[in-house]
Structure 1
Amino acid sequence: MKSNDTTNKGIFYRRFGVVTVFAVFFLILVGGIVRTTGSGMGCPDWPLCFDQYIPPTDVSQLPADYKTRYAIQGKEIADFSAFKTWVEYINRLVGVLIGLFVFFTLVFSFSYFKKDPIVTYFSFLAFVLVGVEGWLGSKVVATDLNPFMITLHMLLALVIVGILIYAVARSKKQELSYKDPENIKLVNKWILIILSMSVVQIVMGTQVREHIDEVALSMGDNQRDLWIDQLGFTFYFHRSFSIIVGILNIIFIKNVFKGTEAKHPARFWSIVLFGLLTTVVLSGAIMGHFGIPAFLQPIHLLLGSLIVGVQFYIALLVNHSRVLGNVKKVEETHSKNELA
């Protein structure tokens, strides 16, 4: 009975962990919407919003000197916008909700503490980093959307996703029996290459996003079709680099199929990766030729983040025995200790 209870708790942890992973991706999407709508400074203070738990809906609810009272780095804030304020406030509420998801993921991970404590350790690490992420969010506001802080905020979100993916994947590996690829060294070399290049591509994307914000501020939203011409070298390098990244990912996918057996799950996720790559390239092309539609910007960011997440998961799958396959050894050690 106790064994079944533990098994059920483990299944629940994995299911809830998967939900948490996708919830973090959803938060990345919401963050992209905040940037696209120019709502990053919708709440000029943190953690409250205009010193209120529930932000105002009209400028009449603010003091007459609100622009100077809530000045950032000595600069007056922009005119109050209820839309931007509430977009940013909802982003913060979603962030709190995701924090709770990660906390409960940690709580549920204790069902693995005896048979594989690393699952619990990584769940705890994710929870700690979510707190750091919240602190970084406050610094993004305090520095008036400093580009470096925004990039760091984004990269830490990807790190949290990776940690959660590892913890959830590890919790399931004891039930699987597939083999690592025959050409494991070659596959791993390509994994390092494409993961590194994808992260670089995302960092460049955040810089392009910053330039878009500057162009939008100077030219106005009604001239979106002219924005591309003003973006300069970073945009064109980002666009050209995506072709290289795409080709290298295709080579990587080919090597995964070449070295794995038909039932290996890395093949399925390689197909998913190819679909994401195709979609992100398509979304980038549409933005480049159709005036950077606002609705596509956060989707483009989300797709890039999903690509990194899938690449990392494939890395875990193809290194099943090396990275994740020592769960049984941990269980055997605990069993021997209990017998002793």
Structure 2
Amino acid sequence: MARLVRPLGWASLVANIAIVVTGGAVRLTGSGLGCPTWPRCTDESFRPHGELELHAAIEFGNRLLTFVLAAVAIATLVAAWRTGRRQLRVLALVLALGVPFQALIGGVTVLTDLNPWIVSLHLLLSMAMVGVAVLFLRRVDDPDAVWTRGRTQALAWITFASTWVVLYLGTVVTGAGPHAGDAETPRNGLDPLQISQLHADSVFLLVGLTVGLVLATRAGTPARRAAVVLLGVELGQGVIGFVQYFTDLPEILVGAHVLGAALISAAATWAVLAVVLRPAPAPVPATRVEATASR
């Protein structure tokens, strides 16, 4: 099963992105309280029924996807364990433990009637799991890569940190906006215009830092390619963000923006790892060592 570790790593990445998208669909369809309690869907049943059928089915479907995510995480953990590589075991364990932790936060979200700050935490944890899945894949492909330091590496970490500021502020904007997940859910009380402007400012800063990272990396290297991909995803996400803002937040564009946020997390993680991780120096052949010693 160890030979399946890479495909399962990709499956973990895709599944974690999918749970972000379906969670967004729950909110955008107003189905956040389709199942008004947790862990059951209603006080009497784990399954939706009756007058709650439509919204409950959407919310219940998202809950069921958690079991798919759990199955993928467990399979990834087993495959990683079979490799005997400690790093992969630890990362796979983090991915596996993240599933019940995420489910617990999801339950708190429902029990607090979709408190926007808890919803924000729920989304950010999924974004973090996307990043862990990317790190897992990098370690599968290059287990002996070593961490490096330098000005370019520092810029990569600053860009990565700025990415998370953008992601966090994006969740705050969501908490102030109209798509609460339920018509009766209160918002976070912040001014949508002001927080949207702050979010936009953070995006401009991130794009500027990413342009700097592109220029700081050497052409033709994996680091340059990763930085260019990150910049491309940022620009696409920025276009969607501006269009959705000036078109009164249509659900389809907001959903695309949610997907873009997950892709931003993946691309930012890939970019920082491409810059700060370098292949370990190749060992010097024993014959060369003996020849040098004999001189």
Percent identity of paired positions between Structure 1 and Structure 2: 23
Inter-partner Cα distance in structure 2 for 1:289 and 1:154: 24
Aligned to 1:47: 39
May I ask how many residue pairs the two structures share in their alignment?
275
Give the drift of 1:92: 0.6
1:93 aligns with 2:93: no
Inter-partner Cα distance in structure 1 for 2:110 and 2:103: 11
Give the drift of 1:185: 1.3
Inter-partner Cα distance in structure 2 for 1:194 and 1:280: 16
**SS of alignment partner, residue 43 of structure 1:** coil
2:206 maps to which of 240, 245, 256: 245
Residues 201 and 241 of structure 1 are in contact (CA less than 8 Å); yes or no, is this contact kept in structure 2? yes
What is the Cα-based RMSD across aligned positions, in Å?
2.6
1:212 maps to which of 141, 163, 177: 177
Give the drift of 1:217: 4.9
Aligned to 1:301: 258
Inter-partner Cα distance in structure 2 for 1:325 and 1:319: 12
Give the drift of 1:138: 0.7
CA distance 1:193–1:296, change in 2 (3 Å) = same
**SS of alignment partner, residue 54 of structure 1:** coil
Give the drift of 1:180: 8.9
* Aligned ranges 1:118-129 → 2 under 5 Å: 118-129=87-98
Aligned to 1:236: 197
Inter-partner Cα distance in structure 2 for 1:279 and 1:248: 16
Aligned to 2:153: 188
Deviations 1:108-136 (A, max 9, x none): 112221xx211112111221122111111
CA distance 1:272–1:198, change in 2 (3 Å) = same
Inter-partner Cα distance in structure 2 for 1:83 and 1:193: 44
Residues 30 and 298 of structure 1 are in contact (CA less than 8 Å); yes or no, is this contact kept in structure 2? no
Aligned to 1:320: 277
Give the drift of 1:320: 2.7
Indicate the larger mover: 235-244 or 24-33.
Answer: 235-244
Aligned to 1:198: 163
1:21 aligns with 2:13: yes
TM-score by length of 2: 0.84
Inter-partner Cα distance in structure 2 for 1:124 and 1:237: 36
Unmatched runs of 5 consecutive residues or more in structure 2: 185-190, 284-295
Aligned to 2:117: 148
CA distance 1:180–1:157, change in 2 (3 Å) = closer
Inter-partner Cα distance in structure 2 for 1:310 and 1:10: 26
